[in-house]
Amino acid sequence: MNSTNTQNIKTFSLLVTSSAWASQGHITALNFAKSVLKANHKIHRVFFYSDATQVANNSSVAPQDELNLSSEWTELATTNDIDLVTCISAAIKRGIIDSQEQTRYQTPANNLADGFNLSGLGQLVDAIIQSDRVVSF
């Protein structure tokens, strides 16, 4: 019998809820994602919820001796066609908005980092449906 490798490929989605700067959750999630991809699996979506949404704020600047988590996520997503979704209600609550929400709320600027999208919890439900595994950090 000749089995194909495609039968062994799993699709993962990640749920990140930990703060980008107050814990190791983002770094652990990034390392996990890189390991999944290195093992030839696929990542469908990374959903950022609660304090994890702060990683999508392009107004935040990482100190020179620290990892720029926003850039790391964007690079990983761009290179591997991964959807980065930031919970819209959690993000807005923390002052993170895109140009559409800027107009809606009449704020002076938008600050959603490149590569990230604002969307609702329906995207998390979709990720759960589309994935073989969902891992939370």
**Catalytic residue positions, numbered:** 87
Residues forming beta bridges with residue 82, ordered by sequence position: none
Quote the distance between the C-alpha of residue 22 and its chain's center.
17
3-state secondary structure of 14: strand
Q: For strand 42-48 and strand 83-87, is the pairing parallel, antiparallel, or unpaired?
A: parallel
Sign of CA dihedral 34, 77, 3, 131: positive
